[in-house]
Structure 1
Amino acid sequence: MSNGIPGFAYHRVPVADGVALNTAVAGTGPAIVLLHGFPQTHLMWRHVAADLAADHTVICPDLRGYGASDKPAETGPDTYSKRTMAADVVALARAFGHERFALAGHDRGALVAFRAGLDHPAAVTHLAGLDVLPTLDMWDVMHGVSAAVGWHLYLMAQPPGLPEKMIAADPDAFFGAFLDQWIKNPAAIPAETRAVYLSACREAIPSIVADYRASAGIDVAHDTDDRARGNRLRMPVTVIQQDWGAALGYDATALWQAWTDDLHHHTTTAGHFMAEEAPAEIIRHLRDLLTR
């Protein structure tokens, strides 16, 4: 397999000063933007995107700092804040002529989607998040020995320098560990796709760390401010997660309900990489969302 989605056209789309996103596009009709997670690229959506393109305009970018998109140097906390990355997404959709669009994200992409829904409610018509909690809630539920599952969050939250050096010492071992540990069906990410992900991550260590560092700082501040102001997601929301709440001792549905009045929350038996492990299930949930 190449590093592209068959049948999709590829574009480099400027979305901010000095930042262009590598983007795959196919289909016609209402737009849906699909945002990938860690440690992946837009290729993780290959099965879901192909199905949705039958009756939607499907836009699949590499996030800033990932894949073949631009990777600006971290000049401050805003460079990789989810607010900045959400603005990228809105600008991207507009570049293709869509002022309003549905938005689905996995993992890191789901955090960007969440922020886009809060910051740009007039643009985001429907919102889906796969296997993530909002940043503020994520940190709140991580405590005691259960926090060991998120060890990488603490590593990449450290000031610039040490995390990047440690990861660069053996990037394939670092990034590959997540591909191995977070999957229930290893065949869902074949060797050639795994190679694409690892190659992309090797080229993006500083920007990936900067993305995570933002989630331990400025992203928390933005979520805290929204919670204090009562800002909530106004569009229909679907969340699909592994049953982390049962494992770590929290009520995932209740945490999400604090952010929206129109929530469909689902648990899955698939692993973290559910769009690749259980694409039919994810397609079904997304299509149900798009009818709400």
Structure 2
Amino acid sequence: MTSVIPGFEYQRVPVADGVALHAAVGGTGRPVVLLHGFPQTHLMWRHVAADLAADHTVICPDLRGYGASDKPAEAGPDTYAKRTMGADVVALARALGHDRFALAGHDRGALVAIRTAMDHPRAVSHLASLDVLPTLDMWDVMHGASAAVGFHLYLMAQPPGLPERMIAASADAFFGHFLDLWARDPAAIPAEVRAVYLDACRAAVPSIVADYRASAGIDVEHDRADRAAGRQLQMPVTVLQQNWGAALGFDAAAIWRAWAPDLRHELVEHGHFMAEEAPADVAEELRALLTR
């Protein structure tokens, strides 16, 4: 079963008290950290990572609470706050010898990447976000019947207990639903990779729910504080997004521009899992970002 990126070395790196991240590292050159989304692991970057490793040091961790990384129990809102998960990323890069690095994230990983870049502007040289809005804006634009597409956000925002039990009772159906619904090209996630994702998610239900719960609480508080203080992302930013903004009644580019003055916002025709469906296009966009 494919569970590793060929040619990459794997390390288990302590990043916080009692928390270590499982990370794939390959290539040489300027460092780039790639953060995976839901319901996936670092393996989603397998094609893009191999491409970038030709002239970059590429670091692909499983996020805290996902994959083979540690999954601390939710002791409070901070445990899976994106601020905490972002600090993990900075600690990981530093442990591998990199005080400054480019950062790209997809889905949940993009939310971690945004918070990392906001909190650690001296560490993050360039930022790429694949197919999300910043947390505060995501909640602001979801309303009415169109919000039904995000039912899982509301389910996992509930207090501990019910969402974990409901999802664990039918984990493969729950996580598989998103793999099926969000993939424009199902062949991009072959059966053996899908099995890796489902195995990993089945073993991580409490921590995945805690990650989402934080995004309905403390992560919103952190974004609101940044907006009130007028903080912005100071590095070059590239956003790749499906063309779903107009359908849901908001201007995604305008939303992003308020956070990122140096912005390239590109609407793409790929599905949500664009790093797997169109890896050459994603790698090309990341390389272009790194020249800015």
TM-score range, shorter chain: over 0.9
Paired residue type of 2:283: I
> How far 1:269 moved relative to its partner?
0.7
In the alignment, does 2:226 pair up with 1:226? yes
In the alignment, does 2:106 pair up with 1:106? yes
Q: How many residues align?
A: 292
**In structure 1, distance between residues paired with 2:253 and 2:131:** 12
Alignment-derived partner of residue 255 in structure 1? 255
Paired residue type of 1:138: M
Alignment-derived partner of residue 29 in structure 2? 29
Q: Secondary structure at the match of 2:50?
A: helix
Q: Secondary structure at the match of 1:128?
A: strand
**In structure 2, distance between residues paired with 1:247 and 1:52:** 33
**In structure 2, distance between residues paired with 1:243 and 1:165:** 34
**In structure 1, distance between residues paired with 2:278 and 2:54:** 19
Q: TM-score, normalised by structure 2?
A: 1.00
> How far 1:260 moved relative to its partner?
1.2
Paired residue type of 2:225: D
Question: Per-residue CA shift, 1:48-96, capped at 9, x if unaligned?
Answer: 0000000000000000000000000000000000000000000000001
In the alignment, does 2:162 pair up with 1:162? yes
Question: Per-residue CA shift, 1:168-193, capped at 9, x if unaligned?
Answer: 11100000000000010000000000
> How far 1:247 moved relative to its partner?
1.4
Alignment-derived partner of residue 63 in structure 1? 63
**In structure 2, distance between residues paired with 1:117 and 1:45:** 20
In the alignment, does 2:184 pair up with 1:184? yes
Alignment-derived partner of residue 151 in structure 1? 151
Alignment-derived partner of residue 280 in structure 1? 280
In structure 1, list runs of 5 or more residues that go unmatched. none
**In structure 2, distance between residues paired with 1:247 and 1:175:** 25
**In structure 1, distance between residues paired with 2:283 and 2:260:** 22
Alignment-derived partner of residue 88 in structure 1? 88
In the alignment, does 2:128 pair up with 1:125? no
**In structure 1, distance between residues paired with 2:260 and 2:184:** 30
Q: Secondary structure at the match of 1:2?
A: coil
Return structure 1 stretches of 4+ with deviation > 2 angstroms: none
In structure 2, list runs of 5 or more residues that go unmatched. none
**In structure 2, distance between residues paired with 1:15 and 1:63:** 11
Question: Per-residue CA shift, 1:11-66, capped at 9, x if unaligned?
Answer: 00000000000000001111000000000000000000000000000000000000
Paired residue type of 2:31: A
Q: Secondary structure at the match of 1:74?
A: coil
> How far 1:244 moved relative to its partner?
1.7
RMSD: 0.4
- Percent sequence identity over aligned pairs: 78
> How far 1:99 moved relative to its partner?
0.2
Question: Per-residue CA shift, 1:118-145, capped at 9, x if unaligned?
Answer: 0000000000000000000000000000
Q: Secondary structure at the match of 2:113?
A: helix
> How far 1:2 moved relative to its partner?
2.0
**In structure 2, distance between residues paired with 1:154 and 1:247:** 21
* 1:263-278 map, 5 Å: 263-278=263-278
**In structure 1, distance between residues paired with 2:108 and 2:127:** 14
> How far 1:243 moved relative to its partner?
1.2
